[in-house]
Amino acid sequence: MNIVLLGAPGAGKGTQAQKLVAEFGFAHISTGDLLRAAVKAGTKLGVEAKGYMDAGKLVPDALVIDLVKERLEADDAQNGFILDGFPRNTAQAVTLDSELAAMGRNLDAALLVAVPSESVVARLSSRRTCKSCGYTAPAGVDVCPRCNGEMYQRDDDKPETIRHRLDVYENQTAPLVEYYKGHSILKEVNGDRPVDEVYADVKALLAL
């Protein structure tokens, strides 16, 4: 199954993706994780992307699209993938459709994790992320339950940057809800509930 996850920063896309990957073995393609890995490794892409990320702006399409193409072609993505954080604007969505069509593939669902902005600000302010594997958890979890790595606060999880990321979401990413409605693959889950309740509905919506 090929799935796109949509939703504001902090809606719980990564959290639900982690659960789907653990249970069903889909490839998890998170552009945020891929970009943070490039920043950490100090690659040319990472150096270029860092300024945009720290400011809460979108990284230029060309840089992100190349990363995604490479991951879609990888062996582990041939039996289903979850795109988390991509596409982020209409140009990325159109490119994704044409890349998949060229591979003889398509999207089965675009799942919107809907959460009011008050909740996402609170979640992001207290989020901790694993330095090694990108696992996320609320503050208080100091050691990664998946790999024992160290948990830290992301540079863009600071109040001013969170507000800017929410504006970018409203202006550039939210229009994709209509885009995928137009393709008849949009599904919506209420993400403002405990993680396991959200996950049960996610599976029902995706018929998993």
Binding residues for ATP, as ranges, are 10-15, 127, 193
For residue 166, count other CB atoms closer than 10 A to its CB.
18
Asked if 198 interacts with ligand AP5 (CB under 6 A), we say yes
Specify which residues 3 forms β-bridges with: 82, 109
Q: Which stretch binds ligand AP5 (CB under 6 A): 13-21, 37-45, 71-79, 178-186?
A: 13-21
46 binds, among ligand AP5, Zn ion, none (CB under 5 to 8 A by kind): none
Helices and strands: H and E segment counts in the chain: 9, 8
Q: Nearest residue to ligand AP5, using CB?
A: 32
Count CA atoms within 13 Å of residue 187 on its CB side.
18
Q: Could you say which of 50, 71, 123, 127 is catalytic?
A: 127
Question: Cα–Cα distance between 50 and 41 in angstroms, integer?
Answer: 12
Q: Which of 26, 81, 86, 179 binds ligand AP5 (CB under 6 A)?
A: 86
Could you say which residues in the range 14-43 bind ligand AP5, by CB under 6 A?
14-15, 31-32, 35
**Per-residue mark of binding to ligand AP5, 156-185 (x: CB under 6 A):** x--------x--------------------
Candidates 10-18, 69-77, 99-107, 179-187; binding stretch for ligand AP5 (CB under 6 A): 10-18
- In which residue are the tokens 């994780």 written? 33
Residues lying near Zn ion in the complex (CB under 5 A): 130, 132-133, 135, 144, 146-147, 149
Pick from 90, 88, 119: nearest CA to 198:
119
Phi/psi at 29 (nearest 5 deg)?
A: -110, 95
Q: Give the integer Cα–Cα distance in Å for 105 and 9.
A: 28
Count, residues in the chain: 208
Composition of the chain by helix, strand, coil, percent to 5: 50, 15, 35
Q: Using CB under 6 A as the criterion, which residues of the chain lie in contact with ligand AP5 when the complex forms?
A: 7, 9-15, 31-32, 35, 52-53, 56-59, 64, 85-86, 88, 92, 123-124, 127, 136-138, 156, 165, 191, 193-195, 198
